[in-house]
Amino acid sequence: MRKSFHFLSLTILGVLLFTPKLIAQDAESQALKTQPNIIVILADDLGYADVGFNGSTDIPTPNIDRIAREGVKFTNAYVSYAVCGPSRAGILTGRYQDRFGFSRNPLLAPNDPKMGLPLSEETLADALGRVGYKSVALGKWHMGAHESLVPRKRGFTDFFGFLSGGHQYLPELWTLNDLTEARTQYDGYNTKLLRNETRVEETEYLTDALSREAVNYIQHYKDAPFFMYLAYNAPHAPLQATPEYVERFDHIKDPKRKIYAAMVSAMDDGVGRVLETLDSLKLADNTLVFFLSDNGGPEHANASDNGLLRGEKGDLFEGGIHVPFALRWPARLEGGKTYEKAISALDIFATAINQTSEPIQTKNTLDGVDLIPYLTEANSGDPHPYLFWRKFDQEEYAVRAANGLKFEIQKNQSYLFDLQHDLGETNSILKERSEDSRSLKKQYSIWNMEMKDPVFLGLLQDKLYSRQNPNRFTTN
């Protein structure tokens, strides 16, 4: 009897000692499960008017439109730069890229540890990783090709895609085994794709391959909170599409726009596959899905359409920086809403980290804000009193106030527009509103004093960089 009692006492003691561990582990598990998943779907060079929710009639985008229909459509959403590299650096860090000298489109330079996102910066993947998130980067990286700058060194658990600023879409054109065989900037377009650090043999059209991998990784990480950065390079040049997609657009007679439309349609199919996977796994309610373009469409280069917006990719007119943007999160946001105040792609970072079950202390001060209080009407104010843009090499800049007044200097010409009444920037009111111009210029000067000069040469200095770095691609 004593032995039985002694055994029972030890058993009860063991249970009591072990129970707190079980409770703690269960609490941790529950916390991970309640943290929302984050998916950022980023198009490349997509025209403002080339999605259905912004009025497209010749290119159906039912799946992209679903994000806007079941979530929030933003009519005044901006990126932080008018071309892809700096814009993406802003998205991934939640900070104006000029704060850390990422003011140029980076070159493909696999031997240069300074050609890309500086190590002083943390990515959204870095921050979310501290509270248990798995992070996946798919598609276009463009944040540096040196081994210290690649996605898995910048907080991402997994990577599938390419390191350069663009890529061929057809697998038969991927003739280079890796970047050691590159000799020019655009040889990066011809490399085999990477899975983490290993080159792979891929047979699918690039956009389809990225969509396939997105589905696979969602299924793989369905039980853990995950962040997915699905960075399509569609519809960035070169204009390439499979017959399956081209045949959908017999009604478009312009051959360039027909292929462009096919590329957008392929991306829309991929977005549909992502949304369907979230539905089937019952993840949709607790997943934030952002959709946007990295800059405005380069209308002359890829036949995109920015609608009534003036200018195109590369400009600080609205056509270069004002982008399609939608957010869906069924658990928190009522569908079918339109938000008209000015917001920025910089806000994605702050919005994401503020929804986690544990507070995240960021390494650096963010320029973006958490959008959720504004979208739930807990905060009726303006997310940003001012938004700023700077093109360092061209000595051009722009500043937009919350009331819609926008001052800009482009090609030695100064403008002041009232975007609330003139979104197409057709009528400069500079002479009539000189005091407003001075006020906006002062705000820009204050902001600019906090920015850094570029820390690397960029795409416009390609030849100069190669002369200065004869071993750009080789170590011989």
Question: Average pLDDT over the chain, rounded to whole?
Answer: 94
Q: In the structure encoding, which two tokens stand for residue 397, read together?
A: 């800049």
Amino acid 375: pLDDT: 98
Query: Between 255-280 and 62-69, two packed helices, what is the crossing angle to 10 degrees?
Result: 50
Q: Is the pLDDT of residue 221 over 50?
A: yes
The DSSP secondary structure of 359-392, one letter per residue, reads ----SS--S----HHHHTTS--S-S-SEEEEEET
What local confidence, expressed as pLDDT, does residue 475 receive? Answer: 72
Task: Give the span between the Cα atoms of 241 and 263, in whole angstroms.
Answer: 6
Mean per-residue pLDDT, 439-450: 98
Tell whether the model's pLDDT for residue 27 goes beyond 70: no
DSSP letter at 446 equals H
> Is a pLDDT exceeding 60 seen at residue 10?
no
Architecture of domain 387-455: 2-Layer Sandwich (3.30)
Average pLDDT over residues 369-389: 97
Give the residue with greater pLDDT, 97 vs 1.
97
CA distance 412 to 382: 31
Pairing of β 386-391 and β 194-195: unpaired
Angle at 223 between CA 293 and CA 232, to 5 degrees: 20
Place of tokens 């814009």: 87
8 A C-beta contact, residue 341 and residue 76 = yes
Rounded percentage of the chain residues whose pLDDT exceeds 70: 93
Cβ atoms < 10 Å from Cβ of 182: 22
Predicted confidence at residue 476, as pLDDT, reads: 61
Q: Which residues pair with 231 in a beta bridge?
A: 42, 139
pLDDT average, residue stretch 105-124: 98
Q: Are 398 and 98 in contact (CB under 8 A)?
A: no
Mean pLDDT in residue range 375-397: 97
**If phi over 0 gives left and psi between -120 and 50 gives alpha, with beta otherwise, what is residue 269?**
alpha
The string of pLDDT tens digits covering residues 315-339 is 999 999 999 999 999 999 999 999 9
Residue 190's closest CA among 199, 182, 198, 201? Answer: 182
How big, in percent rounded to 5, are the helix, strand and coil portions of the chain? 35, 15, 45
Equal fold, 34-384 vs 387-455: no
Least confident of 11-25, 83-97, 291-305: 11-25
Sequence-distant (≥ 6) Cβ neighbours of residue 121 within 8 angstroms: 89, 93, 95, 100, 363, 364
Expressed in angstroms, the distance from the first to the final Cα of the chain is 82
Would you state the pLDDT for residue 3? 47
Q: Is 146 a catalytic residue?
A: no
Q: Is the pLDDT of residue 22 over 60?
A: no
Q: Which of 84, 167, 236, 322 is catalytic?
A: 84
Q: Is the peptide bond before 62 cis (omega within 30 degrees of 0)?
A: no
Q: How confident is the model at residue 2 (pLDDT cuts 50, 70, 90)?
A: very low
Cα Rg for the chain, rounded, in angstroms?
A: 24
- For the chain, give every domain's residue range: 34-384, 387-455
b/e per residue 386-400 (b: at least 16 CB within 10 A): bbbbbbbeeebbbbb
Q: What CATH number is given for 34-384 in this structure? A: 3.40.720.10
Q: At residue 250, does pLDDT exceed 70?
A: yes
Residue for token pair 């040196």: 146
Whether 285 shows a pLDDT value over 60: the answer reads: yes
84 is catalytic: yes
Residue 263 has pLDDT above 90, yes or no: yes
Distance between CA atoms of residues 51 and 369, nearest Å: 26
User: Comparing C-alpha atoms, which of 267, 150, 276, 162 is closest to residue 218?
Assistant: 276
Rounded distance between C-alpha atoms, residue 440 and residue 438, angstroms:
6
3-state secondary structure of 268: helix
pLDDT at 12 over 80: no
Cα gap 102→205, rounded to integer Å:
31
Strands 343-344 and 77-78: parallel
Active-site pick, 142, 167, 236, 322: 142
Q: What is the rounded distance in angstroms from the CA atom of residue 404 to the CA atom of residue 436?
A: 11
Amino acid at 228: M
Classify residue 109 by burial, with Cβ atoms within 10 Å: 0-12, 13-18, 19+. Answer: buried
